[in-house]
Structure 1
Amino acid sequence: MAKSVLTQKKLESISKAASAKSYSVRTEIPDAGQPGLYLVVQPSGSMSWAFRYRHAGRPRKMTIGPFVLGEDATFTLAKARESAQEASRIVSDGRDPAEVREQEKAQTPEPVKVDLVEDVLDEFVKRHVKKKNRESTQKNTEAFIDKRIRPEWKDRDIRSITKRDVVKLLDDIADDGAPESAARVRAILSKFFNWAVDRDIVDASPVPKGSTAKQGASRERVLTDEEVRLVWLACEKVGWPFGPFVKLLILTAQRRNEVAHAVRSEFQLGGNNQLWTIPPERSKNGREHLVPLNSVVLEVISGIAGVGETYLLSTTGETPISGFSKAKKAIDAEMLALAQKHAVASGLNPNDVNLEGWTLHDLRRTAASGMARLGVPVHVIEAVLNHQSGTIKGVAKIYNRYEYLERYVFKPVHIPPL
């Protein structure tokens, strides 16, 4: 091929032809503007720069690098010529530019590989969380990751995370009034870093053995009858959809997501055998769970607005309800307003009213406590809660306590209406 000086316009023309697969064989286009420099065009359309020279009496070739059009190209025409000029100087010194480049590459330390926590978390969710857990657990785990872990460490190299970092994160969550969340985050971090160890991403897990952070003791919060009454009345004030939702938590003693994600087809409301069947894929222990429905539950369900044909509780018709924290705050506000109103009616200062904090899961424990107080056998309570026998450690203690109180000191307490 006759030599001519390559220009940007010629390169654009060559690139267009290469993209159209106009080159049926490998073609070398020499640049008269720089001796030894060639543009190599492949039949596939890819292009690269090469430098031809002689060393020790033999013809040699060295690839300079790929060529693509655009301002971000690593080897533009100017840079390719500059590399060819440097190679020519090396040849004139009696050395082989290809060998010199290999020697320089060997002496240059490889860049330290950085695995950002953000990226490793994405892989963990994709390859572990979504493959090893039920859908409800997946969503719960991802929510904790996105809210509690990712914002804190997303730009950190995972190898830079120390035990002190983990303890501080867990302490901060616990100090924010969420010891249960701290415990949940610790469990997720333990699985995350153990998974990273197995994949040789980190050498060891920084998650401390045991509970070194202030994660709080296992909760034993049980709402009083008065508090349950306030919750119920607050639910009526809040209304759809979280009012009926929390009422169902109280009445059925089932888990938050089991109620929130309930599907209409799971309910048998007609005839003499009203029943809610929670399928194995939605229950925590993976077993089908039957929940008999009493008249009060049926009344709550009958008052639920029908949005969509799939979920019992939905505001979109396509997805179950969410936003529990916001709903909980609304219920708390209504409870406080009701308690202050009662204080005023009783001649007390409403500003002195203080309500103890509680969680939605506490309603489940409260139901277990109420059943124990009524003398319901512990194995029946376990069945209602869908716990495998022997796993609900607190129920036996609650049951024994109420059995003692009933026999010796328990006296019914009258709760006046508002």
Structure 2
Amino acid sequence: MAKALTVKAIEALKPQNVRQEIPDGGLSGLYIIVQPSGALSWAIRYRFDGRPKKFTVGAYPAYGLAQAREAASKALREVSEGRDPATEKMLRRTIQKEEEGAASKLVKDVLDDFVKRHVEVKNRPSTINENKRIIEAYIKPKWGNRHIASITRADASKLIDDVAARAPVMANRVLALLRKFFNWCVDRDILDASPMSKRIQPPAQETSRDHILTDDEIRWLWKACNKQGPPFGSLVKLLLLTAQRRNEVAKAKRKEFSLAGNDQLWTIPKHRAKNKKEHFVPLPSFVIEVIEEIPETESALLLTTTGTTPISGFSKGKTVIAADMLAFARLEAAERGEDPAGVIIERWTLHDLRRTAASGMARLGTPVHVVEAALNHRSGAIKGVSRVYNRYEYFEEKREALTAWADHVKQLTLVKD
């Protein structure tokens, strides 16, 4: 009698020169199919009207062991009710093809359908744009004109390796998207099995996010913010220059800013600070210029679109700026005689601007405890009695650090402008 399959046993299966059918002792009639290519799929064998029949459940690991048994049990119940699951599946597939017409099976066309029917339906705007970018930059150029059924696991591995040679973290993103794409193809009966059913290891090990923008990216960001204008363009500029948290900037009130005299200052009250500690942010002249670009209204808020509530829609606004950044970068590439399509900007977040500012100040020679003070961040660099009595929080040092950083950013914005 066949033994009940386990996940460990399935993962240990090795392909051979011939196709294998391995029965699952946990459910009579269920088999896992091992192709010579290494692709795994589930099927059931049964009799209907006195004749042997086969029904393909789906690919592994899209269908795990428990899911395969559940789907197989449902199909076998249909047999006991006098229904043929294989015939009904064929009928559904015929109806689907009639509805969709003679759809192209070129990879580029199937990808377009995947974006329309899955990516744009299941994801938020920022993820939709990122997935589209990956498809256009990495997948279509390699496979676009190939038939979807011609893609093998070796093709997928080579594509991932090629991307990893230049951008290991991006290779992880491409790998994840390809898994979703091929599983979707199997679910829609475009493919019988995914070429990636046998696991491909991510090329890069990721822990916490540590992305910072390069000087070129800062320059493109600034151009994009100028194009966007207030209030969102101003928000992004202030996040980059002041190194403060998103909500602390977005919900800032004009009365918190002292712009007169020689001691310009932004006071973030403790009830708005994340660590519940009042924070004093020195304002370099370049920051004052950004604030003065923001039109004054009757609102108490510095940044608002409604006049009564703080600025919102961060994902949408950031997506527009990211798209404009890429457009400026590609324009510069074209002016240099390079291929604009080859220009890629790694995905970034608004929080990365705070990290970029902190890294920039450190790069300009600011000691770590001063950077922490500028960020209103408690990480333990200042301890004991020094922490108790150092209540002025290195104000002049913070002003010097933020001024040096603002001057650096300003110099970047003057290049190729």
| TM-score class normalised by the smaller sequence | 0.3 to 0.5
Q: Select the structure with the greater relative contact order (CA < 8 A; seq sep ≥ 6).
A: 2
Larger Rg: 1
Q: TM (normalized to structure 2)?
A: 0.43
Q: TM (normalized to structure 1)?
A: 0.43
